[in-house]
A and B are shown apart, each in its own frame.
Chain A
Amino acid sequence: MMNLNALEKLTRQAIKGSNTSMNSRMMLNNGFITPAEHRSISSLSWQIAANVRANGNGAAAGTWATSDTGTDRFWG
């Protein structure tokens, strides 16, 4: 099971501009998050830092190309 609470906490920290790498590494070492979760957090922090550099704003800016995920209503 994914540790959503830890991911939520780390995401909020990253968005507020805190450096999450140490916290994320500590959570990984203590078994609170998985290596996959740690890598994803690192990737998110990188993206936020890139947004700050590009736009002066950590909140995502730009565009998303969304894929067509089909028409099944159950996903709605």
Chain B
Amino acid sequence: MLEPKRNMYSPIDTFALTKAVYEELKSILLSYSSVMPASLIEIGKAALSTSGKVMSTPFEGDPAHVRAPRWPLAVALSYQAASQPKDRDNWTSAVPAVAAVEIAMAAADLLDELTDHDPSPVIERYGPGQALNAGNLMLVMAQQSLLRDALKNRGDQALSALDALQNMLVEAAVGQHLDMLYERMGSAEVTVEMSNAMTQMKAGALISGACRIGALTAGAPAQVVELLARFGREIGGIAQLENDLRDVLPLSALVGATPNQQKTDLLLRKRTLPIAFTLRDDSEEPNALQQAYSSTEDMGDIDEEHLREAVLAVGGIQFGELVLSVHRENALEALAELEELRPGATAILSPLLPKAPEAPPGV
């Protein structure tokens, strides 16, 4: 099912993609050298070089070991999937859009680290004020680089991509606002629908936007663009839920991953889907999480493992997994529709779809 009907194009070489985006990012930073001091460019470069980003990629050694970072891959694969088969090898045309998304996401990560007081090498080194200023600047740079590309090369396609980038940033900022707002609300006030809508605005909007930008850059018709955006929204939901579930799984049940080093969702009183589900448990006796979130006690003094066990006992993990599985089915549906319009799209996009857990028999 995942094989294309006719392989008329080459799969994207992740080393070549990562290297091309690296060069584009360098060129964008250099284009500001006449207006920015080296000290500011250095902060931008540091934000673009954190773990998992293109500029942190070690290009020495075996090229086969280079794993393309998530955001560049989402844009480039969407470009390739949205293109007609004969145009699929022209993915280098998407590099300016890929670089713009990489800059925007590095900025979003930095702003998120500031918001959540997460450990951050950039904030640690340059301080919160400089990091905030650099994050804001990078949001402008991401948009400016697409605008410059529109003026220089592809006009309407790059302008549409710019519009999509701005829309995704607006939606993500609304999601971020709600995330912080909900932390201060009563323990049962945030429904699972509110929680889901908030996370969809954050992760869903970002991946959806990245996929949309790839499709728009390819000049795809509206139906193809919308299907890719829909697919992106679903895989964004999956990624967010995987992250949220990892944060609430009791350490005793966790294998194959190290616990998060930063403050977790529980200690930050976040309202992720598994947490919102647990807080709305209607058992007579309040569970440990309901007690902790209702208390004015400093969360730092609370045994976090005890809270994780409450989420597990009430069914918050299972609810999260259920919603994750619906996202996965929806993503596959979008892919099936896309396959009709762009044969081979499923195979191209399969690296973006997380592996499914084993299905129970008879389901």
Contact = CB atoms under 8 A, between A and B. Distances in A.
Interface in A28-76: 34, 36-37, 39-44, 46-48, 50, 59-60, 62-76
Nearest to B309: A59
A60 B196 contact: no
B363 A66 contact: no
- Most B-side CB within 10 Å, residue of A11, A34, A50, A65: A11
Interface string B303-328: 00000000011110111011101100
Interface of A: 2, 4-5, 7-8, 11-12, 14-15, 34, 36-37, 39-44, 46-48, 50, 59-60, 62-76
Contacts of B240: 75
Q: Tell me the interface secondary structure of chain B in the complex.
A: helix
B342 interface: no
Interface of B: 50-52, 69-71, 105, 108-110, 112-113, 116, 118, 120, 172, 191-193, 196, 202-203, 206, 239-240, 242-243, 245-246, 249, 253-257, 260, 262, 265, 277, 280, 282, 312-315, 317-319, 321-323, 325-326, 329-330, 333, 354-355, 359-360, 362-363
B317 A60 contact: yes
State the 8 A-B residue pairs at the shortest beta-carbon distance, nearest first. A36-B329, A71-B52, A15-B315, A65-B256, A73-B109, A40-B325, A66-B257, A75-B243
B253 A62 contact: yes
A40 B329 contact: yes
A76 B326 contact: no
Contact of A48 (B191, B249, B318, B355): B318
Contact of B249 (A42, A64, A74): A64
A9 to B, nearest CB: 10
A57 to B, nearest CB: 9
Nearest to B263: A76
Given A42-B363, A43-B359, 5 more contacts: A59-B312, A67-B257, A68-B257, A72-B71, A74-B172
